[in-house]
Amino acid sequence: MFDAREVDALLQVARDASVAADFEGRFAAITSALRAVVPSAAVSAIVVDPLLRQGGGRAFFRDLEPADVEAYPRHYLPFDPCPKVAAARPGRPLTLSDLLPAQRFGADPYTGDLLGRLGLRHVLGLVVRVPGGGWLSFALHRERGGCDFAHRERAALELVAPDLARAAFGSLLREALAGRARAVGAEGAAGRGVVIFDAGGEVVDVDAGGLALARALPGFPSDALLEVVRRLAAPGVEVGRAAELDLPHAGGQVVRARSTLLERAPAPRVLTVLARGTPLAPIDALARRAGLSPREAAAAALAARGLSNREIARRLGISPATVNVHLGRVLRKAGLPGRLALARLLAGG
């Protein structure tokens, strides 16, 4: 359905969903890439912000005047049939012509006043759920005299719907982290904080300390943490059940994440307490970085102390040949030339 250039554009949308730090920057990049597949279209994106708890939303509009942007939710939204219908089928694009016969176009304030004054005739939009409880309304507009949106353009918008939701949530979370981390006081300085997840692993609340720690954790929340959260939120788990996990932190430290099933009704909530730990031991840091198995790490630690393969084998209860295999894998995974380099690394030299 899509040629190579259009496939590249769709892949660029997915990449741009995570690049810029702020909401406007991400959607500006996304819409620039999307126009290669859906040309000659103005763009708008509105999201209700589930993280900042401001009772309002965030908006990005390209090619529309600020006054028209402000007027839409106040005067025209009740007459726009697209958002309400699209919310009942999240992630599925629809056009204004799907809902409004041509003979009725211009008979209401939305199509007659706003779209008429702006010279717009065709609208393609969707509503998609944003992690954390918000909704993103994303729309493309085309002028009178232009053709309505085609099936392939609908398909393109549906393909990038998850990227749009990810762009909205990721940018808002980063903004919240940056804004609230600046206000972190003793709680954040003490290296402790709280994050609350729902059953799907989406963040529903976070305190200042949790924001500060999450900001320093690469890829927060990690797949390992999400697996713990979802396991605790699974049916049949008793309230109060807990699990702990160490997360790598910048500077060779770890953050201990203790997750507890906080409540089950009206919906499962998992409370995760983040607490900054002590620096990792050199062998633990190497094991995390190089992906060593427990046996490989144990053999490496003993070899770095100068023990022979026979002595290591006796300590670990395995054969010298197996020790040799373990150490070979350690050196290969860590990119080290030999035991001397391993000993120097673990000694900090």
CA atoms within 13 A on the CB side of 245: 20
Residue in the structure block whose two tokens are 């507890």:
260
Query: Which domains are delineated in the chain?
Result: 4-177 (3.30.450.80), 183-279 (3.30.450.20), 282-347 (1.10.10.10)
State how far the Cα of 141 lies from the Cα of 63, in Å rounded to an integer: 10
Q: Is the pTM of this model over 0.85?
A: no
State how far the Cα of 92 lies from the Cα of 69, in Å rounded to an integer: 24
Could you give phi then psi for residue 225, rounded to 5 degrees?
Answer: -70, -40
What does the block give as tokens for 265?
């009704």
Q: Under a CB-based contact definition with an 8 Å cutoff, are residues 19 and 163 in contact?
A: no
Name the burial class of residue 266, with classes exposed (0-12), middle (13-18) and buried (19+) by CB atoms within 10 angstroms of its CB: exposed
Query: Who contacts 322 (Cβ-Cβ below 8 Å, separation ≥6)?
Result: 313
Q: Write out the chain's pLDDT in tens, 349 residues.
A: 788 888 888 888 888 777 766 777 888 888 888 888 888 777 776 654 433 333 445 666 676 676 776 777 778 878 888 877 887 888 899 999 999 888 899 899 989 988 888 888 888 888 887 765 567 888 888 888 888 999 999 999 999 988 888 888 777 766 665 554 444 444 444 577 888 888 888 887 777 788 878 877 777 888 889 999 999 999 988 877 888 888 876 555 678 888 888 777 677 888 888 888 756 677 877 887 788 888 888 888 888 888 889 989 988 888 999 999 999 999 999 898 888 888 888 876 4
The partner residues of 122 in beta bridges, in order of sequence, read 142
Residue-wise over 119-150: b if at least 16 C-beta within 10 A, else e? ebbbbbbbbbbbbbebbbbbbbbbeeeeeebe
Could you give phi then psi for residue 276, rounded to 5 degrees?
Answer: -70, 130
Strand ranges (E), 207-320: 242-249, 253-263, 269-279
Q: Under a CB-based contact definition with an 8 Å cutoff, are residues 134 and 168 in contact?
A: yes
State how far the Cα of 19 lies from the Cα of 22, in Å rounded to an integer: 9
The total number of residues written for the chain in this structure: 349
Under DSSP, the state recorded for 149 is: P
